[in-house]
Amino acid sequence: MAAYLVRRLVYGAFTVLGVLLLLFVLFFTVTDPDDIARKAVGDRAKAEVYVQWKKNHGYDRPLFVNSEHGVADTKRYTDTLLFEHFRRMLTFDFGRSDADGTPIAKRLREGAGPSLSLTVPLFVLGLLVGVVVSLFVAFFRETYIDRSMLVVCMLAMSIAGLLYIIGGQFLVGTLLRWFPISGFDPDPAVTARFLALPVLVGLVSGFGADVRLYRTVFIEEMNRDYVRTARAKGAGDARIMVRHVLRNALIPILTNVVLAIPFLFTGALLLESFFGIPGLGSLTVEAIQSNDFATLRTMVFLGALLFIAGQLLTDISYALADPRVRLS
Protein backbone atom coordinates (compact mmCIF):
# COMPACT_ATOMS: atom_id res chain seq x y z
CA MET A 1 0.00 0.00 0.00
CA ALA A 2 2.71 2.50 1.04
CA ALA A 3 4.90 1.47 -1.89
CA TYR A 4 1.93 1.86 -4.19
CA LEU A 5 1.23 5.38 -2.93
CA VAL A 6 4.87 6.41 -3.30
CA ARG A 7 4.95 5.10 -6.86
CA ARG A 8 1.75 6.93 -7.73
CA LEU A 9 3.12 10.15 -6.22
CA VAL A 10 6.30 9.90 -8.28
CA TYR A 11 4.25 9.39 -11.46
CA GLY A 12 2.13 12.32 -10.35
CA ALA A 13 5.18 14.55 -9.95
CA PHE A 14 6.27 13.80 -13.53
CA THR A 15 2.75 14.53 -14.73
CA VAL A 16 2.78 17.93 -13.03
CA LEU A 17 6.16 18.82 -14.55
CA GLY A 18 4.85 17.84 -17.98
CA VAL A 19 1.71 19.90 -17.54
CA LEU A 20 3.76 22.96 -16.53
CA LEU A 21 6.05 22.61 -19.54
CA LEU A 22 3.18 22.10 -21.95
CA LEU A 23 1.30 25.07 -20.53
CA PHE A 24 4.37 27.32 -20.94
CA VAL A 25 5.03 26.23 -24.50
CA LEU A 26 1.39 26.52 -25.56
CA PHE A 27 0.88 29.86 -23.92
CA PHE A 28 3.95 31.45 -25.47
CA THR A 29 3.12 29.97 -28.85
CA VAL A 30 -0.09 31.98 -29.03
CA THR A 31 1.22 35.08 -27.30
CA ASP A 32 4.52 36.55 -26.04
CA PRO A 33 5.74 38.64 -23.07
CA ASP A 34 5.46 41.89 -25.07
CA ASP A 35 1.80 41.21 -25.71
CA ILE A 36 1.13 40.48 -22.06
CA ALA A 37 2.85 43.70 -21.02
CA ARG A 38 1.07 45.81 -23.62
CA LYS A 39 -2.31 44.41 -22.56
CA ALA A 40 -1.51 45.11 -18.91
CA VAL A 41 -0.32 48.73 -19.27
CA GLY A 42 -2.62 49.71 -22.13
CA ASP A 43 -1.83 50.79 -25.69
CA ARG A 44 -1.30 54.45 -24.90
CA ALA A 45 1.15 53.97 -21.99
CA LYS A 46 4.59 55.47 -22.33
CA ALA A 47 7.50 53.28 -23.34
CA GLU A 48 9.16 53.65 -19.89
CA VAL A 49 6.02 52.39 -18.12
CA TYR A 50 5.91 49.44 -20.47
CA VAL A 51 9.57 48.57 -19.88
CA GLN A 52 9.21 49.08 -16.13
CA TRP A 53 6.15 46.76 -16.04
CA LYS A 54 8.04 44.06 -17.87
CA LYS A 55 10.93 44.38 -15.43
CA ASN A 56 8.62 44.31 -12.36
CA HIS A 57 6.81 41.20 -13.53
CA GLY A 58 9.95 39.42 -14.69
CA TYR A 59 8.97 39.42 -18.36
CA ASP A 60 12.21 41.12 -19.39
CA ARG A 61 13.99 37.79 -19.52
CA PRO A 62 14.11 35.51 -22.56
CA LEU A 63 11.90 32.41 -22.73
CA PHE A 64 14.29 29.46 -22.79
CA VAL A 65 17.94 30.51 -23.16
CA ASN A 66 19.55 33.68 -21.83
CA SER A 67 22.38 34.45 -24.28
CA GLU A 68 23.70 37.30 -22.10
CA HIS A 69 25.36 34.64 -20.00
CA GLY A 70 28.17 32.43 -21.27
CA VAL A 71 27.75 28.86 -22.41
CA ALA A 72 29.36 27.48 -19.24
CA ASP A 73 27.28 29.65 -16.93
CA THR A 74 24.22 27.93 -15.49
CA LYS A 75 22.58 31.36 -15.43
CA ARG A 76 22.28 30.96 -19.19
CA TYR A 77 19.39 28.59 -18.39
CA THR A 78 18.25 29.67 -14.93
CA ASP A 79 17.87 33.35 -15.72
CA THR A 80 14.96 32.64 -18.07
CA LEU A 81 11.17 32.80 -18.01
CA LEU A 82 10.89 29.02 -18.20
CA PHE A 83 13.05 28.46 -15.15
CA GLU A 84 11.26 31.20 -13.24
CA HIS A 85 7.93 29.60 -14.22
CA PHE A 86 8.94 26.24 -12.72
CA ARG A 87 10.55 27.80 -9.65
CA ARG A 88 7.47 29.82 -8.75
CA MET A 89 4.98 27.00 -9.30
CA LEU A 90 6.96 24.34 -7.50
CA THR A 91 7.48 26.60 -4.47
CA PHE A 92 3.83 27.68 -4.52
CA ASP A 93 4.99 31.28 -4.91
CA PHE A 94 2.24 32.35 -7.27
CA GLY A 95 3.14 36.05 -7.33
CA ARG A 96 0.83 38.78 -8.57
CA SER A 97 -1.78 38.86 -11.27
CA ASP A 98 -0.54 40.14 -14.63
CA ALA A 99 -3.84 41.93 -15.13
CA ASP A 100 -4.30 43.99 -11.96
CA GLY A 101 -1.33 43.24 -9.73
CA THR A 102 -3.24 41.71 -6.83
CA PRO A 103 -1.51 38.80 -5.09
CA ILE A 104 -2.83 35.57 -6.60
CA ALA A 105 -2.81 33.76 -3.25
CA LYS A 106 -5.26 36.38 -1.97
CA ARG A 107 -7.53 35.88 -4.99
CA LEU A 108 -7.48 32.14 -4.40
CA ARG A 109 -8.49 32.54 -0.77
CA GLU A 110 -11.29 34.90 -1.71
CA GLY A 111 -12.57 32.76 -4.54
CA ALA A 112 -12.55 29.38 -2.80
CA GLY A 113 -15.58 30.15 -0.60
CA PRO A 114 -17.98 31.20 -3.36
CA SER A 115 -16.81 28.34 -5.58
CA LEU A 116 -17.30 25.68 -2.92
CA SER A 117 -20.69 27.07 -1.93
CA LEU A 118 -21.78 26.42 -5.53
CA THR A 119 -19.95 23.20 -6.39
CA VAL A 120 -20.46 21.24 -3.16
CA PRO A 121 -24.28 21.42 -3.09
CA LEU A 122 -24.32 20.81 -6.83
CA PHE A 123 -22.12 17.72 -6.44
CA VAL A 124 -24.00 16.23 -3.48
CA LEU A 125 -27.47 16.88 -4.89
CA GLY A 126 -26.44 15.74 -8.36
CA LEU A 127 -25.10 12.44 -7.03
CA LEU A 128 -28.16 11.89 -4.85
CA VAL A 129 -30.69 12.70 -7.57
CA GLY A 130 -28.75 10.74 -10.20
CA VAL A 131 -28.39 7.59 -8.11
CA VAL A 132 -31.95 7.59 -6.77
CA VAL A 133 -33.58 8.27 -10.14
CA SER A 134 -31.46 5.74 -12.00
CA LEU A 135 -31.99 3.06 -9.33
CA PHE A 136 -35.71 3.63 -9.78
CA VAL A 137 -35.51 3.57 -13.57
CA ALA A 138 -33.34 0.45 -13.55
CA PHE A 139 -35.87 -1.33 -11.36
CA PHE A 140 -38.62 -0.49 -13.87
CA ARG A 141 -36.42 -1.26 -16.87
CA GLU A 142 -38.14 -1.91 -20.18
CA THR A 143 -41.42 -0.44 -18.91
CA TYR A 144 -43.01 2.84 -19.95
CA ILE A 145 -41.44 4.50 -16.89
CA ASP A 146 -37.98 3.58 -18.13
CA ARG A 147 -38.73 4.49 -21.73
CA SER A 148 -40.18 7.90 -20.93
CA MET A 149 -37.19 8.63 -18.71
CA LEU A 150 -34.93 7.67 -21.60
CA VAL A 151 -36.62 10.31 -23.74
CA VAL A 152 -36.26 12.90 -20.97
CA CYS A 153 -32.57 12.07 -20.55
CA MET A 154 -31.82 12.20 -24.26
CA LEU A 155 -33.57 15.57 -24.53
CA ALA A 156 -31.72 16.86 -21.49
CA MET A 157 -28.40 15.71 -22.94
CA SER A 158 -29.12 17.18 -26.38
CA ILE A 159 -29.67 20.72 -25.13
CA ALA A 160 -26.52 22.81 -24.81
CA GLY A 161 -25.45 23.88 -21.32
CA LEU A 162 -25.62 27.57 -22.24
CA LEU A 163 -29.28 27.27 -23.13
CA TYR A 164 -30.04 25.95 -19.64
CA ILE A 165 -28.28 28.96 -18.15
CA ILE A 166 -30.02 31.54 -20.31
CA GLY A 167 -33.35 29.70 -20.24
CA GLY A 168 -33.14 29.25 -16.47
CA GLN A 169 -32.37 32.94 -15.93
CA PHE A 170 -35.27 33.92 -18.17
CA LEU A 171 -37.81 31.47 -16.79
CA VAL A 172 -37.03 31.42 -13.08
CA GLY A 173 -35.45 34.86 -12.76
CA THR A 174 -37.41 37.06 -15.16
CA LEU A 175 -40.80 35.40 -15.58
CA LEU A 176 -41.39 33.66 -12.27
CA ARG A 177 -39.16 36.00 -10.23
CA TRP A 178 -38.37 33.28 -7.70
CA PHE A 179 -34.66 33.91 -7.46
CA PRO A 180 -32.26 36.67 -8.52
CA ILE A 181 -30.81 36.24 -12.01
CA SER A 182 -27.21 36.56 -10.91
CA GLY A 183 -24.92 37.85 -8.20
CA PHE A 184 -23.46 36.74 -4.90
CA ASP A 185 -23.52 37.73 -1.28
CA PRO A 186 -21.08 36.43 1.34
CA ASP A 187 -23.87 36.44 3.96
CA PRO A 188 -24.93 32.77 4.13
CA ALA A 189 -28.62 33.60 4.61
CA VAL A 190 -28.72 35.67 1.42
CA THR A 191 -26.32 33.44 -0.53
CA ALA A 192 -28.78 30.57 -0.70
CA ARG A 193 -31.13 32.73 -2.77
CA PHE A 194 -28.33 33.58 -5.20
CA LEU A 195 -27.11 30.00 -5.44
CA ALA A 196 -30.49 28.31 -5.94
CA LEU A 197 -30.71 29.05 -9.64
CA PRO A 198 -27.15 28.08 -10.66
CA VAL A 199 -27.40 24.87 -8.63
CA LEU A 200 -30.72 24.07 -10.29
CA VAL A 201 -29.32 24.75 -13.75
CA GLY A 202 -26.24 22.64 -12.99
CA LEU A 203 -28.43 19.78 -11.80
CA VAL A 204 -30.63 19.83 -14.88
CA SER A 205 -27.74 20.00 -17.33
CA GLY A 206 -25.88 17.10 -15.68
CA PHE A 207 -28.96 14.98 -15.01
CA GLY A 208 -29.38 13.21 -18.37
CA ALA A 209 -25.84 11.89 -18.71
CA ASP A 210 -25.63 10.81 -15.06
CA VAL A 211 -28.90 8.89 -15.12
CA ARG A 212 -27.99 7.12 -18.36
CA LEU A 213 -24.62 6.08 -16.99
CA TYR A 214 -25.85 4.95 -13.57
CA ARG A 215 -28.83 3.14 -15.09
CA THR A 216 -26.48 1.10 -17.28
CA VAL A 217 -24.33 0.25 -14.27
CA PHE A 218 -27.36 -0.77 -12.19
CA ILE A 219 -28.88 -2.93 -14.92
CA GLU A 220 -25.57 -4.66 -15.48
CA GLU A 221 -25.44 -5.53 -11.80
CA MET A 222 -29.09 -6.59 -11.74
CA ASN A 223 -28.37 -9.25 -14.37
CA ARG A 224 -25.63 -10.85 -12.33
CA ASP A 225 -25.94 -14.32 -10.84
CA TYR A 226 -25.69 -13.19 -7.24
CA VAL A 227 -28.88 -11.18 -7.67
CA ARG A 228 -30.64 -14.38 -8.73
CA THR A 229 -29.21 -16.05 -5.63
CA ALA A 230 -30.58 -13.26 -3.46
CA ARG A 231 -34.01 -13.66 -5.05
CA ALA A 232 -33.82 -17.42 -4.55
CA LYS A 233 -33.21 -16.75 -0.84
CA GLY A 234 -36.54 -14.96 -0.71
CA ALA A 235 -35.21 -11.40 -0.49
CA GLY A 236 -37.63 -8.66 -1.55
CA ASP A 237 -37.11 -6.22 -4.42
CA ALA A 238 -36.22 -3.22 -2.26
CA ARG A 239 -33.73 -5.24 -0.26
CA ILE A 240 -32.15 -6.64 -3.43
CA MET A 241 -31.83 -3.21 -5.03
CA VAL A 242 -30.29 -1.53 -1.98
CA ARG A 243 -28.35 -4.28 -0.23
CA HIS A 244 -27.07 -6.16 -3.25
CA VAL A 245 -27.30 -4.11 -6.45
CA LEU A 246 -26.52 -0.64 -5.06
CA ARG A 247 -23.62 -1.91 -2.97
CA ASN A 248 -21.99 -3.54 -6.01
CA ALA A 249 -22.85 -0.75 -8.44
CA LEU A 250 -21.24 1.81 -6.13
CA ILE A 251 -17.84 0.49 -7.16
CA PRO A 252 -17.97 1.69 -10.79
CA ILE A 253 -19.95 4.77 -9.76
CA LEU A 254 -17.25 5.68 -7.24
CA THR A 255 -14.60 5.88 -9.93
CA ASN A 256 -16.73 8.32 -11.82
CA VAL A 257 -17.55 10.41 -8.77
CA VAL A 258 -14.43 10.55 -6.63
CA LEU A 259 -12.40 11.79 -9.55
CA ALA A 260 -14.64 14.85 -9.62
CA ILE A 261 -14.21 15.76 -5.95
CA PRO A 262 -10.93 17.73 -6.24
CA PHE A 263 -12.43 19.83 -9.01
CA LEU A 264 -15.02 21.15 -6.62
CA PHE A 265 -12.20 23.50 -5.56
CA THR A 266 -11.50 24.87 -9.00
CA GLY A 267 -15.09 25.93 -9.40
CA ALA A 268 -17.48 25.79 -12.30
CA LEU A 269 -16.29 27.92 -15.22
CA LEU A 270 -19.55 28.51 -17.08
CA LEU A 271 -21.95 28.66 -14.16
CA GLU A 272 -19.79 31.07 -12.16
CA SER A 273 -19.16 33.49 -14.96
CA PHE A 274 -22.79 33.56 -16.14
CA PHE A 275 -24.25 33.88 -12.66
CA GLY A 276 -21.72 36.44 -11.47
CA ILE A 277 -20.33 34.28 -8.70
CA PRO A 278 -16.85 35.57 -7.79
CA GLY A 279 -15.31 32.13 -7.46
CA LEU A 280 -12.26 30.43 -8.88
CA GLY A 281 -14.09 29.53 -12.09
CA SER A 282 -14.75 33.20 -12.77
CA LEU A 283 -11.15 33.95 -11.90
CA THR A 284 -9.95 31.45 -14.50
CA VAL A 285 -12.26 32.80 -17.20
CA GLU A 286 -11.11 36.37 -16.49
CA ALA A 287 -7.48 35.27 -16.64
CA ILE A 288 -8.02 33.72 -20.06
CA GLN A 289 -9.75 36.81 -21.36
CA SER A 290 -7.12 39.25 -20.08
CA ASN A 291 -4.02 37.28 -21.10
CA ASP A 292 -3.18 36.92 -17.40
CA PHE A 293 -0.50 34.27 -17.58
CA ALA A 294 0.40 34.40 -13.88
CA THR A 295 -3.15 33.62 -12.75
CA LEU A 296 -3.91 31.13 -15.48
CA ARG A 297 -0.82 29.01 -14.87
CA THR A 298 -1.65 28.94 -11.16
CA MET A 299 -5.11 27.59 -11.90
CA VAL A 300 -3.81 25.01 -14.37
CA PHE A 301 -1.09 23.93 -11.96
CA LEU A 302 -3.57 23.54 -9.10
CA GLY A 303 -5.92 21.70 -11.47
CA ALA A 304 -3.19 19.22 -12.33
CA LEU A 305 -2.36 18.66 -8.66
CA LEU A 306 -6.02 18.15 -7.84
CA PHE A 307 -6.44 15.76 -10.74
CA ILE A 308 -3.63 13.58 -9.42
CA ALA A 309 -5.09 13.76 -5.94
CA GLY A 310 -8.42 12.70 -7.41
CA GLN A 311 -6.91 9.68 -9.08
CA LEU A 312 -5.23 8.60 -5.87
CA LEU A 313 -8.46 9.14 -3.97
CA THR A 314 -10.32 7.03 -6.56
CA ASP A 315 -7.88 4.15 -6.19
CA ILE A 316 -8.07 4.28 -2.43
CA SER A 317 -11.86 4.43 -2.36
CA TYR A 318 -11.93 1.56 -4.86
CA ALA A 319 -9.88 -0.57 -2.51
CA LEU A 320 -12.15 0.35 0.39
CA ALA A 321 -15.37 -0.44 -1.50
CA ASP A 322 -14.32 -3.64 -3.22
CA PRO A 323 -12.77 -6.37 -1.08
CA ARG A 324 -11.26 -7.95 -4.20
CA VAL A 325 -9.06 -4.92 -4.89
CA ARG A 326 -5.67 -4.74 -3.23
CA LEU A 327 -3.44 -1.75 -3.95
CA SER A 328 -0.03 -2.98 -4.96
Partner 1 sequence: MSTPLLSVEQLTVSAPGAAERVRIIDGIGLAVSPGETLALVGESGCGKSMTALAIMRLVSPPLRIHAGSRVLFEGRDILALPATEMRTVRGAQMAMIFQEPMTSLNPVTRVGAQVQEAITLHSDVSPFAARMQVIDLFEMVGIPDPHKRIDAYPHQLSGGLKQRVMIAMAMALKPRLLIADEPTTALDATIRAQILDLIRNLTANTGTAVLLITHDFGVVNELADRVAVMYAGQIVEEGTREDLLARPKHPYAQGLLKSIPRAEQRGGRLEEIQGVVPRPGQWPEGCRFHTRCPYVFDDCVFEPPARTIVSATQAARCHLLTGKALDPA
Give residues in contact with partner 1 (CB under 8 A).
142, 224-226, 228-236, 243-244, 247-248, 251, 321-324
CB of 242 to partner 1, least distance (A): 13
Contact of 185 with 194, CB cutoff 8 Å: yes
HSE toward the beta carbon, residue 271, CA cutoff 13 A: 29
Residue placing its CB nearer to partner 1 in the complex, 193 or 247: 247
Residue placing its CB nearer to partner 1 in the complex, 76 or 231: 231
CB of 19 to partner 1, least distance (A): 36
Cβ-in-10-Å burial (0-12, 13-18, 19+) of 236 comes to exposed
CB of 211 to partner 1, least distance (A): 21
Cβ-in-10-Å burial (0-12, 13-18, 19+) of 144 comes to exposed
Task: Name 292's Cβ contacts closer than 8 Å, sequence gap at least 6.
Answer: 97, 98, 99, 286
SS (H, E, C) 69-82: CCCCCCHHHHCCHH
CB of 136 to partner 1, least distance (A): 17
Residue placing its CB nearer to partner 1 in the complex, 8 or 239: 239
Q: What's the CA gap between 154 and 211, in Å, rounded?
A: 10
CB of 256 to partner 1, least distance (A): 17
Residue placing its CB nearer to partner 1 in the complex, 43 or 142: 142
Q: Residue type for 195, please?
A: L
Residue placing its CB nearer to partner 1 in the complex, 193 or 243: 243
Q: What's the CA gap between 123 and 27, in Å, rounded?
A: 31
CB of 3 to partner 1, least distance (A): 22
Residue placing its CB nearer to partner 1 in the complex, 229 or 289: 229
